[in-house]
Each structure stands twice: as structure tokens, then as C-alpha cells.
Chains A and B, each alone.
Chain A
Amino acid sequence: MAVLELTNISKHFGAIHAVSDVSFAIEPGEVVGLMGDNGAGKSTLVKMIAGNYRPSEGSMKMDGAELVLHKPVDARRHGIEIVHQDLALCDNLTAAANVFLGRELRKGVWPLAVLDYATMYRRSGEIFKELKSETRPRDLVKQMSGGQRQAVAIARTMLSEAKIVLMDEPTAAISVRQVAEVLNLIRELRSKGIAVVLISHRMPDVFTVADRVIVMRRGRKVADKQIARSSPEEVTGLITGAIEQVA
């Protein structure tokens, strides 16, 4: 059964139709590349799955049950994690504080439950090690390189056992070696049965790691194919509009 199923999802911002009538389903352990030009509606689509926006129309199902998300916390509770395009980091906080932002660990009992710094530093350190990133949990994000910032954003998705991980351009600002790490991470997620939606402008990324590619143009889904049955040329044509639509 599909872990996530979208049916006729649309999102309007006033007169702007950012996403129009998009439907698709994702199986557990499937990696879906989501491609499209700037402004095609990719970020808006994954933000709806992550609970940042409510769809204007349409419905979502998770494991066959209706899924209604009012805020990001709801999505996380259902096992949906996201790496935002702009990474959504607070420069004035430490790496660990950013990893746990919005779900800080506490110890003790209310009203004396205090932030559990020790455990948050330790857990973040473990995750950075897993990501093979030289990122120190106690450092301020302000002082970090592009790759380290990316690691902090990705580390968030590894705090709990997710069912779906959404990655909005996770390889846009990092070095070649780090891109390889991210792609390895995606493969690892897949082997654990976690579904991944990878938004990327980099054709090679999608064609090396994805099982399926979905192409969006001006808010609409114009293609949804197995990678093996498509080609970079076809996808490029679909993105630009040279190819109108494929089944």
C-alpha cells in the first residue's frame, strides 16, 4: 500500500495558482525525484506534505488513512520530515539547538522541566558522525560552511524514525564530495524502507538515485515515470515545455 497518496491537491496564494490538481502516490522505500523550473510549485507541494501550508483543495492519505496537517508538528508526528530549500536555520543558535528546533528535549518534571543540553549535544554529535560531517554540535551556525549548514538541516530529519523524508534542493550549495554523501544517505533511507522525495535541479543526482521522476510545470504535474523508462533529454524537454506532457 502507498505510504503517501495525494489526490487532486491544489494551492492558491490569492490569484497565484502555485499548485494545481496534482495527484500521485509513493510506496515505502521509493525515491521520487521531483523536478521543474523555478516557480513550478515544487516547494509549495512539499510544504503542504510537511504541514507548513494547508492545501486549498484535494486530500492526502497516509497508509490509507486520511491525513490532515495543521502545523509542522503534526507532520512530524506522522513520520514526515523535511529539509527546507533555504535550510531554515537560525544563525544565532548552535548546531544542536538548530537540529532540535521545535522539538527540544527536556528533563525533569513540569514545571521544572529544563532543556536537556547534554543529551541534545550528544544526539546531534552522533547524527553528524553518521552523516560523516565535521560539524560540532556546540558551534554557532553563523560560523559554519555551506556543507556544515546542510548537514545541520539534514540532521533534523534523522532525529526520529521517519516514514517519508522530503528534501528540497539538498545538494544546491555543497561540494561534490558532500553531494555524494547526501546521495548515499538517500540510498540508506531507501534501504530502511523510508520513502524519499528529492527536489533537485541536478539531473545526475536524480538519475543516479531516484526510482521515479515527477516533473512539474507551472503548478501542474506533466510527467510521472519510472527512471528506467525516461531520459535526461526527455525530462529537460518536459521542464522547459518543449515536450508538453507524457503519460
Chain B
Amino acid sequence: MAVTLDQTIAHKQHTWLSRLLNAQTFWVLLAVILACIYLSFATDSFATTKNLYNITRNVTFVAIIALGMTLVIITGGIDLSVGSVLCLCSMVLGVTMHAGYSIEVGIAAAIATALIVGAFNGVLIAYLGFPPFVVTLGMLSIARSLAMVASGNTVVFEFGPDHDKLLSLGGGAWLFGIANPVLYMIILALLTGFVLRWTKFGRHVYAIGGNEHAATLTGVPVKPIKVAVYMISALSAGIAGIIQTGWLGAITTNIGAGLELQVIAAAVIGGANLAGGVGTAFGALVGAALIEIIRNSLGLLGINAFWQGTFIGGAIVLAVMFDRIRNFRQSE
């Protein structure tokens, strides 16, 4: 029987299974699950309530920022300033509350700081054509220095009248014994996933990463969207900073140092492509989870912590290698 034009057009080339097997996120998720199963049997201390609680909570700080970073990476950009922005926002929160203001004022000040920093990055990149790498590298330095200025480079650990509220916000477990940061992470991931898949904004983020010139020609508001994306990235760092402050109960001016590399690693392991156009919210979580599992398991297995970098680096290369192999197969 001849295949009609109708049938060809209606034909779906990819089944959900082939799509699943083609996704880098799927293979990384599989690695996470297998590692968890292995560790449950190989060690007594992995599958304990306490350890799982720790792992899930530790994942969240990297994961939340990786959600924002994923948006930036999808547009083909990069944000190196997130670790410093986390520190600055924590400090603004801490100093504000220490001065006697309520937690609401403190959080509002921290979030405003994040949005201003993000807007600054975004405007330089989108409207003045600066390379994202350079702008955010500058901000990495500026934001941490401002955090030192704000605090006089001291440790802040007294948060005024709402001290206890802040600590329970970050350190509590309000629902079914799940650590609060994990709840925030899940909510933010669902929100990010929704925005990427179901909104015009999300569609345009992918379009910019795929072909910025084409997006401009077809009338996508490229510049405002880029600014928004860097604001979201800074905001995610700010939110992580607020939560982390509540969890740690103290802020030093070196929190979040080097965090940007872990966050970028998480996004890339989770399938975000640094060339732009590809990435998912779920991938960011899975990537962050793999990194945390590696860190956690090395300790439990009694492997020297110096090896951590080697394993995380190996995971980055391995995850991207899957992607390369798939591309080779397709281009043949």
C-alpha cells in the first residue's frame, strides 16, 4: 500500500521509549539509582534515615541554583557569579536581620539584591553585548567583595528578633519529616519545568539558544528574555542563600566559594548543553543528585576525600560522552 502524504505527516518518528533512551538525563538517573542500590548493600550507613536526610538536604543548594543556571545555559550563556551572589544575598539577609528588622524585610532585601545583580549582568550581556563569561566573572569578584563590605568581613550568627523563624525556615522539616530545603527545591523544580515546557517564555528561551539570530528575526523579544534569565539565575542563588543561612545559622564571607563550578557541573551532567538550546529542570536535579551521591559515597566507602574532584570530573566527561556518541551515530 502506498504511503500517502497524510500518513507521512501524521507519522510520529519517535516513540516515548526511543526518546527516553536518547536522553542523557535518563542515563544519569540510572547511574544515580544503581549507585544508591549498590551503596545500600555495600555500606551499613548509606540507607539510614539520617544519611538520606543529609543527602537530600545537601543536594538542594546546588540543585536550586542549577535550575536557574540551566535557563542561562539553554540560552547559550553562562553565569559564574552565582556562588558570590549566594554569599552577598545571605549577608544582606543576615545584616538586615541583625540590625533588628523582621525576617520579611530581610528576605525582601536579599531577593531585591539578587534581582538587581541579575539585572545588571543581564543588561550588560543583552543590551551592551558583553560576553556572559566576562560580565559574570566580574560579578563573581564584585559580589563577594560587597558581601565583605556589608559585614565588615565578620561572621554573622545573631539574626535579631526573628532569629528562630529563620533557623526553622532553613533547618526545619515541616512536612512528613522532609527537610524544608528539599520541599523548596521540589516546588522550584516543578515551577521551572512548567515554565520551560508550557510557557511562551520557556519556548523563547530554547529558541534563543538554538538560533539567536532567527529568534530576533521572527520577533522574539531576545534582549528582555536574556535579562530575565540572568535575573532568574541570580534569584535562584539568592533563594539558596536564604535557605542555607537558615540551615547553617551563621554566615561567613566565604560561603558559596567555588559553588559555581559544582552548579555548572550539575547542569551539564543533567544534559544542559553549553552550546545552548538544550536542557531541562529535571536534568538539573538529577545532575546535582549524582554529584552529591559521589561525594557522600566516597566518605562512606572510606575513600580519601582528595579523590572527590576526580570522580566528579569523570562524571562530567562520561555524561557528555554519551551525548557525543549519540551525535556521531546520528551524523553517520
What are 17 residue pairs bridging A and B, where the CB atoms are less than 8 Å apart in the complex?
Answer: A72-B218, A87-B214, A89-B214, A90-B206, A90-B214, A90-B277, A92-B206, A92-B209, A92-B277, A93-B206, A93-B207, A102-B219, A114-B198, A125-B9, A129-B5, A134-B8, A156-B218
Distance in angstroms from A85 CB to nearest chain B CB is 10
Q: Majority SS of interface residues in chain B?
A: helix
Interface string of A76-108 (1 = CB under 8 A from B): 100000001011111111000100011110100
Kindly identify, within residues 191 to 217 of chain B, every residue whose CB is under 8 Å from any CB belonging to chain A: 197-200, 203, 206-207, 209-211, 213-217
Interface residue from B8, B199, B210, B216 paired with A93 (Cβ < 8 Å): B210
Q: Decide yes or no whether B284 CB sits under 8 A from chain A.
A: no
Contact assessment for A90 and B211 in the assembled complex, using a CB-CB cutoff below 8 Å: yes
Interface residue from A101, A139, A143 paired with B215 (Cβ < 8 Å): A101
Q: Decide yes or no whether B329 CB sits under 8 A from chain A.
A: no
Contact assessment for B200 and A90 in the assembled complex, using a CB-CB cutoff below 8 Å: no
Contact assessment for B203 and A97 in the assembled complex, using a CB-CB cutoff below 8 Å: yes
Residues on B lying within 8 angstroms of A by beta carbon are 5-6, 8-14, 197-200, 203, 206-207, 209-211, 213-220, 277-278, 330
Interface string of A124-144 (1 = CB under 8 A from B): 010011001011111100010
Q: Decide yes or no whether A179 CB sits under 8 A from chain B.
A: no
Known: A72-B219, A137-B9. A90 touches B198 (CB 8 A): no
Contact assessment for A139 and B5 in the assembled complex, using a CB-CB cutoff below 8 Å: no
Q: Which residues of A contact B203 (CB under 8 A)?
A: 93, 97, 101, 104, 115
Q: Which residues of A contact B213 (CB under 8 A)?
A: 86, 88
Q: Majority SS of interface residues in chain A?
A: loop
Classify chain A's interface size. Answer: 35 or more
Q: Decide yes or no whether A236 CB sits under 8 A from chain B.
A: no
Considering the chains assembled together, what is the distance between the CA atoms of A102 and B13 in angstroms?
Answer: 25
- From B275, which residue of chain A is reached at the shortest CB distance? A92
Q: Decide yes or no whether A71 CB sits under 8 A from chain B.
A: yes
Q: Decide yes or no whether A68 CB sits under 8 A from chain B.
A: no
Q: Decide yes or no whether A73 CB sits under 8 A from chain B.
A: yes
Distance in angstroms from B155 CB to nearest chain A CB is 41
Q: Which 8 A-B pairs have the closest CB atoms?
A: A90-B210, A72-B219, A92-B277, A92-B210, A88-B214, A102-B219, A102-B218, A114-B198
